[in-house]
Amino acid sequence: MNLLHMLSQRMRGHIYCRFISCTILGGMVVGCAGPAIRSQSPELEALVAVESATQLVGDYASPWGLNSQRVERAALITGLSDTGSDPPPDPRRQMLLEDMQARGVVDPNRLLASRSTALAWVSGTLHPGIRKGDRFDVIVEVPGNHDTTSLSGGWLMEARLVEMAVLGNRIRDGHTLGVAEGPLLVDPVSTGVVDSVATLRGRVPGGGVALTSRSIGLSIHPEHRSVGLSKRIGDCINQRFHAIIRGVKRGVATPKTDRFIELEVPEMYRNNLGRYVSVVRSLAVAEPSGNRHARLELLSRQLEDPVTAPRAALRLEAIGKDAIGTLREGLGSTDAEVRFVSAEALAYLGESLAAERLAEAARDLRSARPKALAALAILDDANGIDALRSLLSSRSAETRYGAFRGLSMIDARLPDIRGDMLGEACRLHVIDVSGEPLIHATRAARAEVVLFGDSHPVSDGLRVEAGPSIVVVVEGNGAVVNCFRPDEPDLVKEVDSQVEDILHAIVECGGGYPDVIQFLQQATAQRKIESRLAFDAIPTEFDGRLSVPREVVNRNQDTENEDDQSKGSNSKEEPESYWPSLFDTALLESGA
């Protein structure tokens, strides 16, 4: 009995503990290219020797540019109902005054003194691979020594966000990297109880716009730096990956120097940068002629065991079309994890026959759900779309909303998910599916309400506020939405007591997305909405069978300096972990 089989038997009960399995495998790996198994048979020993002789990109280079970049600035909040304050004299006030003066604001000190305005600190995150024009969330907070009592109903005036650093005991800022503006979504009951401190914090979902693109790449290890190797690695990557760049199809790798290679991201990996980099680092740079068949045989055997399957699947994906047959065999495994990693790799190779197994994993493997849904979102044919549609009736809110998000990525105009804009407040989607009635709303990335099921009645006896000037009253089978504003005639809308109709009426009365959210929260708190209400039901990382620490990335600050570009993780172990950003609530692709 070879060692692979013995490991399978001994570790089967503990295989979901990734740290244990990785520790066991660590002693078996020879460099980045080393095999994950040894064998007592001469046949497998020969295969091991073949794998050890294969040099991968990860032997020579580490990821660069996978860190996030924080941008921030002091900004002005307007539209407050006598809850603002005149900020104290400090560097933040001075920063805001200089910005207002640069914009030509007349008498800025008088504006700051108004109780309808407040100074707040605005921050956002530019994620790896973000493109110019992409949107991102911004967080708004009132500094601790200010007298502002609430940001509810406020509007963030345009803020120019920059990266800040402390130099010489002074705060210095750099170039403007993003701008932000929009209505504040303040949620004082997000923790389940009223929290007055939470009224001093808010978010503008998708309110930031990136003014720059952030590239990613590979940093060549110091001991291997040379122009020749940089070009060789670039050629290797370009043989496997292409992208449409400014309308022209070309290779994704551009060797810049002897120490740095810039990478474009193929569209299918747009929401999974970690996996893309892991696959790139699994490409063979130096592979002896005639060894491909032997490598496939070894990886096929590694794919059979759940301990070694995740890494084997990545390396098979790196090989490309020659590995499709091996991965298809993995779909028939008796182990759910092996079936999943095989299907995931096949999806990124464009094989939609994996869709059924990915849907199975999204339903049954909690730990695999985010990756399975992200993989389904790139299968834009009938198989992928039908698999995602089958998940819209799932019992899990995050599976249902994840399937909706995946379908939206494939084609937001699909008839069964296409939504309508409620004025300028948010987008409303009504999906006619079976299963438990579910209302899903987002408080990050986008202003969006999705109704799963076509009927969401509101019970008699409801009386709630939707913002400072709108009151919703339900009596019998009808609802009345009243809008009261100073110096304006009252506005009354009579509609059916259904969530969809009431949301339309709130926006027609001038309400915004924060008012929509407040109505849903208060009506649910009074138990007047029978449907389940879920916020941000996004698949999250789970400490289970497939969960391992997030991919080790270069934590150094990005810089245009070549020496800094060359600094990175010097580990020759390619990362096994990755996290799809399809469900990163801080990132929203423009136009999505």
State pLDDT tens for residues 272-298: 888 999 999 999 997 777 788 888 999
Residues facing 179 on adjacent strands = 160, 209
pLDDT at res. 174: 81
Is a pLDDT exceeding 90 seen at residue 114?
A: yes
Distances (CA, A) of 143 to 85, 150, 217, 392, 588: 11, 12, 37, 42, 27
- Using pLDDT thresholds of 50, 70 and 90, give the confidence band for residue 572: very low
- What mean pLDDT is predicted for residues 10-14? 37
- What mean pLDDT is predicted for residues 62-77? 94
- Rounded Cα gap, residues 449 and 74, in angstroms: 30
Range name among 428-432, 482-486, 523-527 with the lowest pLDDT average? 482-486
pTM: 0.80
- Using pLDDT thresholds of 50, 70 and 90, give the confidence band for residue 537: confident
- Using pLDDT thresholds of 50, 70 and 90, give the confidence band for residue 584: low
**Closest to 428 measured CA to CA, from 366, 365, 517, 491:** 517
What's the number of CA atoms in the CB half-sphere (13 Å) around residue 38? 8
pLDDT at res. 587: 38
CB within 8 Å of 410: residues ≥ 6 apart: 377, 379, 380, 384, 385, 388
pLDDT at res. 52: 75
Is a pLDDT exceeding 70 seen at residue 37?
A: no
pLDDT at res. 168: 61
| The 253-255 sheet, strands edge to edge | 61-64, 216-220, 260-263, 253-255
Range name among 8-17, 208-217, 430-439, 464-473 with the lowest pLDDT average? 8-17
Residues facing 493 on adjacent strands = 481
Query: What percent of the chain clears pLDDT 70, i.e. is strictly above it?
Result: 80
Range name among 99-113, 207-221, 553-567 with the lowest pLDDT average? 553-567
Is a pLDDT exceeding 90 seen at residue 567?
A: no
pLDDT at res. 51: 72
- Using pLDDT thresholds of 50, 70 and 90, give the confidence band for residue 341: very high
pLDDT at res. 499: 97
- Using pLDDT thresholds of 50, 70 and 90, give the confidence band for residue 411: very high
Comparing 191 with 578, the larger pLDDT belongs to 578
Which tokens belong to 464? 């709630």
Domain limits, the chain: 69-210, 420-535
